[in-house]
């Protein structure tokens, strides 16, 4: 499939792909810059981005805001004019500050999921930065499109649909996961392509929900006489799946896990090794303290949690709007920082449902070529 370029206002992607934001410390300037250089959209994750800064423990907000500027600058140096933006999760404390910082320092776009980014248009109203929500269900698409249209008289510049085979936090309840990905209920694990119900197409039972989301988007396109490009992601790791996404009506794909084991990815080498070594049965669903299910690689950390052990949080950095430090089984920021630092036995290693298909370290260029050329 020859890659079609995609225009989003004044931005042009030579290859119709968004590299999904990966926090903490997995998609920073190295990965985002390389993807942008190759013609895709590189996404820097803003989640606790300043975790390596000296003052992070005393003042995480200040460290994070500074690191956002540093990482964007470094990514731009690598990207040679390519498109670079931020993923800012709506569930984060200080969401407003991170969004405003992304706009102020001149990022090309902000993608926002893990909750609905209801006030995003208002926060960036004096900037030309492109904005996009991440949705997983028709209901969440409907809520955010209607709210933005009514309250701000605007529509998203593009919209990301994230399916049940994605990595990190998932925008589904456990029941919805079972509905959209019935194989999950059978094994409580994610399954391979071969385990999907082929009669339902490449996206399985979720295909119908994608259709409903897209038809909802079409209503708003008509109302505003403006196209809303659809970016579809979650378990896209090869050309066949990318083609299936375009056949479903996507204008671009979003892929994250496939980029982890690349030379340019900012993840620690132990993290990349965990991806290369993971087998299908090692990829499991976890309940995150954020209150959403997530997908990750089984390791000794997850075994402890599964046995009911509580790993009491050390210092609370106040990362999430809704978190009760005295009740949670572990601190999500601590677990993700351990992973980012390569302390994989103590860390939470998020990954998508197809991560077990990765067997070697590649380059961003070769991944992009495999997906498109």
Ligand X SMILES: Cc1cc2nc3c(=O)[nH]c(=O)nc-3n(C[C@H](O)[C@H](O)[C@H](O)COP(=O)(O)O)c2cc1C
Out of 48, 101, 257, 344, name the contact with ligand X by CB under 6 A: 257
Sequence-distant (≥ 6) Cβ neighbours of residue 231 within 8 angstroms: 18, 132, 158, 159, 160, 161, 250, 251, 252, 253, 254
Nearer to ligand X, 34 or 308 (CB): 34
Q: Does 84 bind ligand X (CB under 6 A)?
A: no
Q: Does 113 bind ligand X (CB under 6 A)?
A: yes
Question: Binders of ligand X among 29-58, rule CB under 6 A?
Answer: 45, 47
Q: Does 256 bind ligand X (CB under 6 A)?
A: yes
Q: How far apart are CA 92 and CA 97, in angstroms?
A: 10
Neighbours of 297 (CB within 10 A): 26
Nearest 5°: phi and psi at 326?
A: -75, -15
CB of 1 to ligand X, least distance (A): 18
Neighbours of 93 (CB within 10 A): 16
Residue number of the CB atom closest to ligand X: 352
Q: Which two tokens stand for residue 249?
A: 């009506």
Q: Does 362 bind ligand X (CB under 6 A)?
A: no
Q: How far apart are CA 201 and CA 248, in angstroms?
A: 10
How far, in Å, are 158, 285, 344, 354 from residue 300 at the CA level?
A: 39, 15, 9, 21
**Burial of 60 per CB tally in 10 Å (0-12, 13-18, 19+):** buried
Stretch that binds ligand X, among 76-84, 194-202, 233-241, 299-307 (CB under 6 A): 233-241
Q: Does 241 bind ligand X (CB under 6 A)?
A: no
Nearer to ligand X, 208 or 357 (CB): 357
CB of 301 to ligand X, least distance (A): 14
Out of 64, 87, 136, 344, name the contact with ligand X by CB under 6 A: 87
Q: Does 20 bind ligand X (CB under 6 A)?
A: yes
Give the closest residue to 48 by CA, choosing from 88, 13, 103, 77: 88
Binding string to ligand X for residues 275 to 304, with x set by CB under 6 A, is what? ------------------------------
Report DSSP state, residue 310. Answer: -
Q: Does 229 bind ligand X (CB under 6 A)?
A: no
Nearest 5°: phi and psi at 187?
A: -120, -10
Out of 34, 89, 141, 214, name the contact with ligand X by CB under 6 A: 89
Nearer to ligand X, 81 or 323 (CB): 323
Please count the residues of this chain forming the interface with ligand X, following the rule CB under 6 A: 30
Stretch that binds ligand X, among 2-10, 141-149, 164-172, 176-184 (CB under 6 A): 164-172
Out of 22, 116, 286, 292, name the contact with ligand X by CB under 6 A: 22
8 A C-beta contact, residue 356 and residue 283: yes
Nearest 5°: phi and psi at 172?
A: -135, 150
Question: Binders of ligand X among 114-133, rule CB under 6 A?
Answer: 114
Q: Is it true that the peptide bond before 24 is cis, omega within 30 degrees of 0?
A: yes
Q: Does 102 bind ligand X (CB under 6 A)?
A: no
CB of 43 to ligand X, least distance (A): 7
Q: How far apart are CA 44 and CA 86, in angstroms?
A: 5
Q: Does 350 bind ligand X (CB under 6 A)?
A: yes
Stretch that binds ligand X, among 22-30, 298-306, 308-316, 323-331 (CB under 6 A): 22-30
Diameter of the chain by CA atoms?
54
Nearer to ligand X, 214 or 256 (CB): 256
- How many helices and strands, by DSSP H and E, does the chain display? 13, 13
Q: How far apart are CA 234 and CA 354, in angstroms?
A: 9
Q: Does 233 bind ligand X (CB under 6 A)?
A: yes
Out of 71, 157, 162, 251, name the contact with ligand X by CB under 6 A: 162
Q: Does 236 bind ligand X (CB under 6 A)?
A: yes
Instruction: List residues near ligand X by CB under 6 A.
Output: 20-23, 26, 45, 47, 87, 89, 113-114, 134, 162, 165-168, 233-236, 254-258, 350-352, 354
């Amino acid at each position: 499939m020859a890659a079609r370029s995609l225009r989003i206002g004044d931005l042009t992607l030579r290859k119709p792909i968004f590299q999904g934001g990966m926090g903490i410390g997995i998609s920073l300037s190295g990965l985002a810059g390389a993807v942008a250089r190759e013609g895709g959209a590189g996404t820097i994750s803003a989640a606790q981005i300043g975790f390596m800064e000296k003052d992070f423990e005393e003042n995480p907000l200040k460290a994070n805001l500074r690191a956002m500027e540093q990482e964007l600058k470094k990514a731009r140096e690598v990207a040679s004019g390519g498109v670079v933006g931020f993923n800012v999760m709506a569930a984060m404390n200080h969401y407003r500050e991170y969004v405003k910082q992304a706009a102020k320092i001149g990022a090309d776009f902000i993608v926002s999921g893990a909750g609905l980014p209801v006030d995003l248009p208002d926060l960036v109203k004096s900037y030309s930065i492109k904005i996009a929500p991440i949705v997983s269900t028709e209901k969440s698409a409907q809520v955010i499109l209607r709210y933005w249209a009514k309250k701000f008289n605007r529509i998203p510049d593009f919209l990301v649909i994230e399916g049940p085979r994605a990595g990190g936090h998932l925008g589904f309840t456990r029941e919805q996961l079972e509905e959209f990905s019935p194989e999950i209920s059978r094994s409580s694990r994610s399954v391979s392509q071969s385990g999907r119900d082929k009669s339902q197409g490449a996206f399985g039972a979720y295909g119908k929900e994608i259709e409903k989301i897209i038809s909802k988007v079409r209503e708003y396109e008509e109302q505003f006489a403006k196209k809303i490009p659809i970016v579809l992601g979650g378990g896209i790791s090869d050309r066949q799946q990318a083609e299936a996404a375009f056949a479903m009506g996507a204008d671009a794909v979003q892929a994250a896990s496939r980029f982890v084991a690349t030379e340019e990815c900012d993840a620690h080498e132990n993290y990349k090794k965990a991806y290369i070594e993971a087998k299908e049965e090692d990829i499991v669903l976890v309940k995150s303290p954020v209150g959403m299910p997530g997908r990750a690689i089984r390791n000794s950390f997850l075994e402890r949690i599964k046995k009911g052990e509580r790993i009491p949080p050390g210092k609370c950095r106040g990362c999430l709007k809704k978190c009760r430090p005295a009740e949670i089984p572990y601190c999500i920021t601590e677990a993700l920082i351990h992973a980012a630092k390569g302390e994989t036995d103590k860390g939470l290693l998020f990954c998508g449902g197809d991560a077990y298909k990765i067997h070697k370290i590649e380059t961003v260029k070769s991944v992009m070529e495999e997906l498109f050329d």
